[in-house]
Chain A
Amino acid sequence: MLGQRRPRSARRRGRRLLLVGPTLPTTRALEAPLSALGELLVVPFPGPAFDRAVAGYAADLVVVDVTYLDEARVRPLILHRFETIRPMVVFVSETGEGWWDDLRAGTSGPMMATDPEAICALMTEPTLRVAGS
């Protein structure tokens, strides 16, 4: 992921973050830190609000709370729904387990921590430059 940057258009318009189906504790934990990163939209899942967000919000980061969800069913569906927008998708739960899928880079992996700092770190622009660029 080093050296991979979001398109200029995304950076210019400011980041858009989408929080999907959060429990109340997850909302309390993440709403303020994610709002500090950019424009945050919170939607329940499933439902028309989620469908509208997929179609029209162009999120850079999607955080899905799978505390009560069947992750085996939901993860493929979420990744499919965002395959054209290609955001960073993070699956978190109140158990503390997490998984991220960078749909732009095509990379995935487990998250050792799903606290707000760890999630926000996924959106941090790299400060390093490749030598000679």
Chain B
Amino acid sequence: MFDLPTIWAGLLALVILIYVILDGFDLGIGILYPFFKKGEERSTAMNTVAPVWDGNETWLVLGGGGLLAAFPLAYAIVMPALYVPIFLMIFGLIFRGVSFEFRWRDPAHEKIWDSGFFGGSLLATFSQGIVLGAFVQGIEVENRAYSGGWFDWLTPFSLFTGLSLACGYSFLGAMWLIMKTEGSLRDRLYKLSVPLMLIVFLLTAIVSLWTPFLSPDIYVRWFKMPTLLYLSPVPILAAFLAWRIYANLKQRNDNSPFPLALGLFVLSYAGLGISIFPYVVPRAITVTEAASPDSSLGFMLIGAVIFLPLIFIYTGYSYWVFRGKVKSGEGYH
């Protein structure tokens, strides 16, 4: 049951989940940028993530490198298949990444890097959503290689997951900022957050209902007994979390909505996992088929066991150092 390929499938799933929730909130802040006042409010919003965004994005590098290492065949099939959205994501990440520094270096052209931050965040997120949708809907494989065209990823479903992820990240970003800021910026976010939550909920529901109809295989997985019984708590729990977020937003408890929103992301992610496992390229290549030999996976597992706890400790420490509200005008700049 717990052979090395399965362990690594689990670890990689964890890495991607960590990436989604961590970079999720800081990409979300970028997407929300047009809603903030130019200058001060935008600076404060950016400063809440300036010390941590780079660490957050490193999980994406680990996701790519880890997939290459643990499931090279899957990596070799998925990347060419998702060529266009992967590159769009990277271009987006370039613009929003440099904006963190450039925005402070060039006050005369703050506008350029405000748009770079917004546009880059939106493009990266939308592309990630497309990658997700295109991945779930399946990839054509022949003879250990991708055999489709370079626009196969483009479907109504993948565009819809792109849109949904953009709204999801914005929601996460809004919850983060409510926790980290005060004053006019926080007020603005409180106003924004309830409609945003409703939209996210609606989109998530549509994606969840749409997914089983993408292929009979997923359909069977979701709607056969006893799986249906095991799965039934997922939507119930999600509804509960949504209600808690709503109540906390109404009472203006700054600190509770963000962790609760993370819970929502974890639930959706688990649902996704159920639709995919044991495939690593949906409905074409399984975890076992794509896995590197045990000599690779075992060697890497040693590294993961040593380094992941250390990473959690010092990353946690860094978040702790920068805990609490970010006052406007803080930063080294």
Q: Do A and B come from one complex?
A: no
